[in-house]
Structure 1
């Protein structure tokens, strides 16, 4: 996608000058909240929406003005869009029929596609006779049956319960690795994106904020939106005092000073947010060393089996969370206990605070 924009009213942009390369064979997820532009981007790739400006190329072939059926792209919709009056085999045969595939070849391609999604023997059933997970597999098989080079998926697991959703995430990922076909996947579920993707494009307000691996997004967010949207993070407000060798010294509004990795808060005097993952913060024992130390007061302890969730008041944040693994190490006793928390410079990210 080269300089692609989309406007429905000629004034406001749903997608703002998007430049995006999807690598052959990768699993790319478009992730973001509702209204961020991710689904509109997918629909422009598919041809169901027309780009207002810019160009879309598929393997160096311009497809910006081509109708969907001439792009050779497989699409899996959120509601599956199966034909209710057709059998499973007929649903899979349909895209082959419109492409004028020889009748002798259709049966074999349908059989292979059903084997691929583990639905052999379901040929004569209708969609209403299938579970949600089985319908999702049929929709995926229909998108793959004509052997496209690119498959697009618009929140295909949204209607499934949690357990089935997690199983289908694994199955889709395994199928992608086996076939080597390029997948572009849309979701608002960050855990789903982290579990499935080679790379993730995080959308906000029609702009890709960061395009990176799951690890890159989680460990090295480029701005405050990405840090807050991907995973859970604690935030402490302050001002950058100095920056040296990529590390920022921050004076916190609620008292105290910390040193962290400078992301986009890399200039002295900049208003900043410190982002800290709950599992990277430790409750320190007396005289235990740490790059950064802050005082806190316990507000709540919640036992969750493998870890205890400790809610603290720290430097003006009354909902600061520490995830302490239940390994037998001593934990604070009850509310109002005074504690010292510690964390490393590498786990403390200094981000530019959004302007009010």
Structure 2
């Protein structure tokens, strides 16, 4: 990132939120959001991601702590004075106004001249490729078109920050994936700062510069998508982002960044020591299904075992093979179609393995539940 793009636009400092004075929905949130970045707040329901977004928008007030925008506290600034664009899942368009009138509304409220309003509305419609639908009413449009209008309305007054709360949740899979790329490319073109909330990990990985993973009111890890996926710091992140095989065991020994873990049935695994305690303490091993080699491909692996094939799940470009490995019956291997041995069948016992750099020793499973 260049020097200018790494400037901080939003700061959360020791922000907490409680609705009943006892239970914290957001616990001691410290977060810097950089100017021009696309940051996604990702997590399951009730993890605090939407509450954090709503405090930034001004629809919720922090119980304690400070939120700064462009260096100034906005704790007591009402939502309409924050210069923030918002896009919601339900579009929130005015049904009695045409598309052009919907887009003109935030500009009229800001007291802009008629000529300026016309120019900006025209530009915003072109931006989301809806120039020809300016005279239509929301009820005459598809869900995808309405979401485009909502997006254009959030951008039309050129805010420094755009907040999006599950904006694609109501769309079908194909349209959702199309809109993900539209929003991503729009962000790249405009350079506006986007904070996006979703519980969909695929969406977060596809669109963001960085992703903050929330769980029980706290950020568990904040990183670039590839770092989150390949280098999760704890069991919650490993399980929440992408598919993951977990094996429970105990730490036998540790040597710097590497360690040896003994599984429940006695097998030993050499792994990366990422988040472990003292020898003898419980750990959870995490290994991605696509990092496991079957048959001859496993010959040079650091960790080798055998597995009994239980099921094949065909997914077009790849097959998920469910095996029983080390006493665990839901151990998955992802095989590209080109690499799959078509003679393989249910009940076969096959060698399999993975390299030490692809298995991470993390905090035990019970603590991550």
C-alpha displacement of 1:285:
2.5
Is contact 1:243–1:266 with CA below 8 Å preserved after alignment?
no
Per the alignment, residue 282 of structure 1 pairs with: 293
- Residue in 2 aligned with 1:139? 150
Q: Which secondary structure state, in structure 1, belongs to the residue aligned with residue 305 of structure 2?
A: strand
* Secondary structure of residue in 1 paired with 2:16: strand
Say which SS state the counterpart of residue 148 (structure 1) adopts.
Answer: coil
**Equivalent residues of 1:332, 1:339 under 8 A apart:** no
Do residues 41 (structure 1) and 52 (structure 2) align? yes
Match of 2:4 in 1: none
| Residue 101 (structure 1) aligned with residue 112 (structure 2) | yes
- Secondary structure of the 1:290 match is coil
Kindly report the root-mean-square deviation, in angstroms, between the aligned alpha carbons of the 2 structures: 1.4
* 2:225 corresponds to 1:223: no
Question: Which residue of the partner structure matches residue 159 of structure 1?
Answer: 170
Deviations, residues 106-164 of structure 1 (Å, cap 9, x unaligned): 11111111111111122211110111011001101110011000000000000111110
Q: In the aligned structure 1, how far is the partner of 2:211 from the partner of 2:52?
A: 14
Aligned partner of 2:359 among 328, 335, 348: 348
Partners of 1:179 and 1:267 in 2: CA distance: 50
Deviations 1:297-355 (A, max 9, x none): 11122333322221111112110011122225535632221122110111101111144
CA offset digits 1:206-231 (Å, max 9, x no partner): 00000001101100001000000000
Deviation at 1:105, TM superposition (A): 1.0
Q: TM-score, normalised by structure 1?
A: 0.97
Alignment-derived partner of residue 68 in structure 1: 79
Structural mapping, 1:41-60, within 5 Å: 41-60=52-71
Q: Distance in 2 between matches of 1:256 and 1:159?
A: 46
SS in 2 for 1:164: helix
Q: Structure 1 CA distance, aligned partners of 2:297 and 2:363? A: 33
1:255 to partner: Cα distance: 3.1
Q: Is the 8 A contact 1:272 1:352 kept in 2?
A: yes
The structure 2 residue matched to 1:28, chosen from 39, 42, 47, is 39
- Answer yes or no: is 1:265 the counterpart of 2:276: yes
Q: Point out where structure 2 has 5 or more consecutive residues left out of the alignment.
A: 1-11
- Point out the more displaced range, 305-314 or 282-291: 282-291
2:179 aligned with 1:168: yes
* Residue 287 (structure 1) shift: 8.4
The answer for the alignment partner of 1:118 in structure 2 is 129
* Candidates 242, 251, 267, aligned match of 1:256: 267
1: CA distance, partners of 2:60 / 2:248: 41
By how many angstroms is 1:286 displaced? 9.2
5+ long unaligned stretches in structure 1: none
Is contact 1:283–1:331 with CA below 8 Å preserved after alignment?
Answer: no
Normalised to the residue count of structure 2, the TM-score between the two structures is: 0.94
| Pairs aligned (count) | 356
Check whether the contact 2:298–2:354 (CA below 8 A) recurs between aligned residues.
no
| Structure-1 separation of matches of 2:187 and 2:134 | 23
- 1:130–1:284: structure 2 CA closer, same or farther, 3 Å change rule? same
**Cα distance change, pair 136–258 in 1 and its aligned pair in 2 (3 A):** same
For residues 276-315 of structure 1, the aligned pairs below 5 Å read: 276-285=287-296, 288-315=299-326
Residue number in structure 2 paired with 1:79: 90
Displacement of 1:267 after TM fit?
A: 3.1
Mark the CA change 1:287 to 1:96 in structure 2 (over 3 Å): closer, same or farther: closer
* Residues in 2 aligned to 1:224 and 1:335: alpha-carbon distance in whole angstroms: 30
Q: Which residue of 2 aligns with 1:330?
A: 341
Q: Distance in 2 between matches of 1:196 and 1:260?
A: 31
